[in-house]
Amino acid sequence: MDTSLKILLLDDDAFMLELLTDIVNGLGYDNVRAESDARQALTALPAFQPELLICDLSMPEMDGIEFLRAAAEIHFRGTVILLSGMDSGILRAAETLAMAQGLTILGACTKPVTRAELADLLALATRQARTGQAAHGTGK
């Protein structure tokens, strides 16, 4: 399996960020950047150019929805996995808003995300990156 996927993790909770990093690394993905601040992650997007963004929705300063809107504005064309400790209705609404911005959402997971759930989504992201399916977007 090709595990060269570039992944950006964004979560303000240091424990959750470390847990996500450990799971992703443990699944064989090592081209990973972890950010705990949404503004720093936004700066990192053009430089790092991840194919996958795993993003928490509930963060101080700039929440996940604001971050995704800003990512869409700078033409991020990778795929996105949303994470939240909030109820599934919030996740579905965030997913709909992100797709309306032209982002490709692979999944929306409640925290804590399981290793199996993340493994399935990472495999899907890898397949999409390899076939170029995530590179569509709106071309604004």
Q: What is the pLDDT of residue 133?
A: 56
Q: Do the beta carbons of residue 26 and residue 115 sit within 8 Å?
A: yes
> Which of 47, 21, 12, 27 lies closest to 122 in space, CA to CA?
27
Domain boundaries, the chain: 7-135
Distance set, CA 85 to CA 46, 78, 102, 108 (Å): 28, 23, 24, 11
Give the mean model confidence (pLDDT) for residues 52-80.
94
Q: What is the pLDDT of residue 21?
A: 97
Q: Which residues of 67-76 are buried (b: 16+ CB within 10 A; e: fewer)?
A: bbbbbbeeeb
7-135 fold:
Rossmann fold (3.40.50)
Please provide residue 2's backbone torsions phi and psi, each rounded to the nearest 5 degrees.
Answer: -80, 115
This prediction has a pTM of 0.90
What digits encode the pLDDT tens for the residues 72-112? 999 999 999 999 988 888 889 999 999 999 999 999 999 98
At residue 90, the 3 state secondary structure works out as: helix
| The length of the chain, given as a count of residues | 140
Tokens for 75, please give them: 């033409």
Q: What is the pLDDT of residue 42?
A: 96
What digits encode the pLDDT tens for the residues 122-137? 999 999 888 875 444 3
The band of 59, judged by pLDDT with boundaries at 50, 70 and 90, is very high
Q: What is the pLDDT of residue 132?
A: 74
What digits encode the pLDDT tens for the residues 21-51? 999 999 999 999 999 999 999 999 999 999 9
Q: What is the pLDDT of residue 90?
A: 86
